[in-house]
Structure formats: C-alpha cells, structure tokens
A and B are shown apart, each in its own frame.
Chain A
Amino acid sequence: MWDYSEKVMDHYRNPRNVGSLENPDAVGVAGSLTCGDQLKIYLKIKDNIVTDAKFQTFGCGSAVASSSILTEMIIGKTVDEVRKITNKDIADELGGLPPEKMHCSVMGYEALEDALKNYSADGYVDLDEILDEHYGTEKKEKMVCTCFQVTENLIWDAIKQNGLKTVEEVTNYTKAGGACGKCKGAIQDIIDTYYNKQKTEIEKLTPTQWILKVNNIIETQISPELQKDGGDIELIDIKNKSIYVKLKGRCSGCKNSTMTLKNFAEKVLKDSLGTDITLIEVK
C-alpha cells in the first residue's frame, strides 16, 4: 500500500480537467504504453497566458494526480511562468509523493516541457505531426535507459531539479535503470559529471558571486523553513568555505539550535552547493 497524501487521493478520485482540446495551441506527450505510463497534455494559450489545459493519462494513482494538479497549476499563468515549473513543484503541490513514485511528477514535467517546446504563438497544432516529432526527437537525444526510453537530458534535469545523488534516486525519479539495470553505470557517470561540473563552476565564482549564491540558498530554502517555527536565520559573513550565520527569533537560545544548524541548514547548503562548507553560529 502506497503512502499517498490526501491531496493525491483527492486528485485520482476526482481528476480535474480530464479530456482533450479541439485545436489546441500546444500539445505535449511523455511516456508510452510499453513503459506503463503515458501522459498527453493539451493547452490553449491566448496573449501568452494559458487559458485552458486538459490531460489524458494512462498510469497509476500518482500519475493521474500529478497530471491533474499540473493542469490546475498552469491555468491562468503566463507561458514564462509555466516554463519555470519543475517536477519538484508538482510533487510539492501534491503534498509529496512516495520516493518510488517521483517519476510520475517527472512525467508531468516532461509532458509540459514537450508541449512548450512545440508551442508557437501563431500556429495551428497538428497532433499527429507532434507525435511523429515526439518519437523522432526521442531517438535523436542520447538514450541512456533503453528499457524505459530515458534520455540523458531527462536524467540531467532530474538530478538538477531534485538534487539527486544516487543511482537509486535517479531510478525512482525517471525509471531509468529500473528494469534490466544495464545502464546503472551510465547513470552513475551522469551523476558524477553533474557534480564535478557544479564543483568547477563554484570554483570559478568571484567572491561576490559566491556570497550571493550562498545568501540566495539561505533566503529561499532555509529561512522559510525556520520561519514556520517562529525562528529565522541571517547570513553574517563568509570566509572561503566557512559561513557565519546568526539564528533569530525562536531559534536563538533554542536548545536544538545546533541540530537545526548542522542537520538541516548545513545539509541544505552542502547539497545545493555541491561542495563541502562549514556553518558557524555567531551568538
């Protein structure tokens, strides 16, 4: 029995925006019958705003829920806003998905990406043409997992959007490596390449860029979590890989503040930066 959130259950029981659209402005497809799940998404776009969205899904409860909530997330948004949506956003909006089911949210992201790739502001969309092209491009991109037809690009995106570190995580998110397992070595190579690249990129940053990057992570990923418990965190200084912060509100003087600092804040920074740092509390 999967541990589905109430929201996931609500969406597979009562899926929103089911069906297709006549003369859609954009259509996206992800997955296939052989792989066990497929999603088609149809969009109406007017003045650069998504005015309507419909979906059809062949898949499990979490696949239907991911597709359903995705249509709700994009209706009324501008194309640029929609382009920024990641699989993580879909999973978060559902109140989380079991790790083995994260690939369902990735399928939503893939279909959306596919739809917007094919979107042209002036043109009429021919579904068959897109389907042909869909399978065409699939062949063009470097295939890593032949069992589930997973490309290198998709694995790369999943690592980037979700901070995946292990082959098992990549399998949970993309299905790659989940059948014969022959591509597990190739997946490990992609993970290694990604983190090496990130490391070199960080080493190339100027001191100011480095400070901005650290501060951005603190403000967007750490601070909001502490605020939920009535606390907060502030960046004081950075000396190379030593980051000095001050805990505020309820966090200051909290007995568990060291744990918050080491187990949560430091971990988030390490994961996001992909490099080793030390977090030091300034009282």
Chain B
Amino acid sequence: MTNKLIYLDNNATTKVDERVLEAMLPYFKEEYANPSSMYNFAKKSADAIKQARGVIKDFVNAQSEKEIIFTSCGSESANTAIRGVLNYNKTRKHIITSAVEHPCVLNLYKALEKQGYKVDYIGVNSNGELNLEELDAAINEDTALVSIMWANNETGVINPIEKISQIIKSKNKETKFFVDAVQAAGKIPIDVQAAGIDLLGISGHKFHAPKGIGALYVNSKTMITPLIIGGHQERGKRAGTENTPYIAGLAKAAELAIDGLNYEATEIKRLRDKLETGIVSRIYNARLNTGAAQRVPNTTNIGFEYIEGELILLHLSDLGICASSGSACTSGSLEPSHVLRAMNVPFTAIHGSVRWSLSRFTKEDEIDYVIEKLPGIIEKVNSISPYQKELAALKALRGE
C-alpha cells in the first residue's frame, strides 16, 4: 500500500484548480446576494455573472453573451438542448446521433424513442471514427436534430464537427445541430461559429471547475422550449437562482483553459504519447484501440488481450494509480463499453481495455512510474488467465 496518488482519470473528473476555488470564495462569503435583487449589494454578484457570460462566450467563440445559458452539469445542458429543440417544434420526429455518444445523451434518445421519435444511431469504424456517408444518407426532410459529440469520453477520438455541420446544412437547412463538447472543452479550441454549431454543451468539472456547473450555447437563430420553468433567469431559458460562485468558478476555469490550450496540444500530448508508446512497446498483449484516429491530447485507450480490466485497475489502485476501464465488471451493467463494441474491438481485448486520461497536473515522473510498474501488473494478471496458449502465441508473434 502506498500514499502516492497518480490521477490518470481526468475524463471522469478533474481536480479543482486552486485559482478557480479562489475565484469562487468571495461569492460564498461576502458577495452572497441574489444577482436579481435591486439593491447595490447585489451589484457585485450580478457583475460576476455578466463577466462570466462574456468569458464563456469567448471560450466557445459565440457571437453574443445572450447565446450562453448556465446549467448545473453536462447532462442538463444536453437535456435542455435536445428536449428544448424537439419541444419547440413538435412536427419533426426524426433524430440522428452516433452509436458512441455519452450515456447521458444515448439514454435520453432511448426514452424519446418510446415517445414516438425515430432515432438513427450512426456507426463508427474500428478506430472510432464516425461513418460520414451513413450520416449523410440518414438526413431527410423530417430530421429535427443531429446530435454528435465533439470528442469521445472513452477514446478521445475527435469528430470532424465542421464537416458534419456542412453535410447537415446541405441536406436540410431546418435541421438543428447539437454538439456534446464535454470532453473537448479545455482540451482543444472550440469555435461554434466556424464549426457551424446550433447548440453546444459543456461541463465545468472536466476542466478544473467543480462538479455541479455547466453551460449551454444556443445560437440566436435556434429556439428552444425551456426544460426548467420558473423565474426569468437566463432570459427565461433556464429558471432557478443563478449559482454565482460556481458560475464565477466556471469562468475562471475557462480562462485558464484558454491559456492552457497550447500546453494541452504540446506538453500533455507529449506525456500521453510517452505513456502510450511506453505501454504498447513494453507489453506484448497491449493494443492501442484507436489506431491512427485524431484524438484530444490527453486520452489514450489501450486494450490488454486475454485479461480483464477491473483486475488491472485494482492492482493499479494498490499502487495509487487511478485509471478506468471499459470492462463489464467495472460498470455494474454486465456489458462491456458500448463505445468499444461499436468500434468492433475484439472480445479478446474489449474486457481488458483501460482508459488513461491526463491533465495539466500530470507530472512526467508519474508517467514514468506507470510505465515502470504496469508490465509487472499485466504479467501477474496474465499468469492467472485461462488463455495461456493464446497468450503464448501472441507473445511469439509480437516478440519477433
């Protein structure tokens, strides 16, 4: 047992940056006024929200502050966008999404199917890249919404959002385009205007803001029916007293993320690549699940053949190393990751797949430690496997 903590699960959640926490504290302590109040005391909290809206506008490059709605999380952003568009115009009943979306979106579509919507789930290739011809063919007159994630949470694979937008608009100008950018925000530049996006959701805790705050971009030409009805907040698009400290925190995190984009693209990518190469070159039954697909700089998904992921994670955890797995055992759902299945990752590797996701707090010596310790863990788990013949064959094949 060790007290060391090596946190490589930043796609699950991230550490709150000290500077973010500092930015939030005044709105818990001194500036607790309801920003909607009329007295002078409320001015600072109202200003904080106004300023934050400006920061998020710049963060996604929206045209106007009016296009930004603060929400409680990524799931609320997605629900507000999807239900908002469909409820505003109930005549069209066709939706297109991808087979590898986050469960918060996929499960919503499953629920909508029961309400009479027809949903097409576009597939991906073995690298996790979206089948654009299939998408193109699926769009028709009745298509109300296309909903595609910017980057996948399990694999980090980036979808060509601008190209997808062009395909949609060339087929049906009325179709709205929602992008779940939860895993892209803070990792790669986001430009909703250049990419031609109608609605886009982000979540603070994936880029060093706390859990419980998100935002939704809705462009000025897109009408939505609000999900949460009540007061006039967020221009009537999302009722509920503004969460001033968290909104201030989200804005600070976005500022830091903008400043850090270059570091993401160079240094975090370098460490990720070092980890990836270190693992795949040292461990004969390791395989990179995403091939040559374009990915966000912090994520790698590696399958260990003929062994099971939860056991790998438990041994890693004993060394203080945190990662996650697409195995059935870790999810409690009995089925392995829907993303890896959609990619047709072979069953020999799917249960032993491990996702590693870095952040700006990841240190080089932590990556070195994982590269040093992992081969021993995998060797130990390999030795218990009933597939000794298959492992020996693989070793002979890759050893050459």
Contact = CB atoms under 8 A, between A and B. Distances in A.
Most buried by B among A12, A18, A59, A148: A59
Contact of B334 (A34, A56, A61, A179): A179
Interface stretch (A37-45, A113-121, A222-230): A37-45
Contact of A36 (B327, B332, B383): B327
A178 B348 contact: no
A60 B334 contact: no
Interface in B320-358: 327-330, 332-336, 347-348, 351
B223 interface: no
Given A60-B310, A61-B311, A34 B347 contact: yes
Contact of A179 (B307, B318, B335, B388): B335
A58 B306 contact: yes
A15 B347 CA distance: 25
A58 B335 contact: no
Interface in A78-108: 100
Given A33-B347, A40-B386, A64-B384, A58 B334 contact: no
A58 B334 CA distance: 15
B106 to A, nearest CB: 15
Contact of A56 (B314, B327, B335, B386): B386
B348 A61 contact: no
B383 A61 contact: no
Interface in A117-131: none
Contacts, number: 69
Contacts of A63: 308, 329
A131 to B, nearest CB: 11
Contacts of B308: 36-37, 58-60, 63
A126 to B, nearest CB: 15
A71 interface: no
Interface residues of A, number: 27
A66 interface: no
B311 A59 contact: yes
A58 B386 contact: yes
Given A59-B311, A179-B334, A18 B329 contact: no
Nearest to A4: B314
A245 to B, nearest CB: 40
Given A59-B308, A60-B308, A178-B333, A33 B383 contact: no
Interface string B297-318: 0000000001110110011001
B385 interface: yes
B387 interface: yes
Most buried by B among A34, A61, A178, A179: A61
A171 B334 CA distance: 9
Contacts of B318: 13
Contacts of A40: 386
A56 B385 contact: yes
B331 to A, nearest CB: 10
A61 B386 contact: no
B332 A100 contact: yes
Contacts of A13: 315, 318
A64 B328 CA distance: 15
A175 B386 contact: no
Given A60-B308, A178-B333, A38 B386 contact: yes
Contacts of A37: 308, 329
Given A12-B314, A33-B348, A64-B311, A56 B388 contact: yes
A-B pairs, top 6 by smallest CB distance, nearest first, are: A178-B334, A60-B329, A60-B310, A56-B386, A36-B328, A40-B386
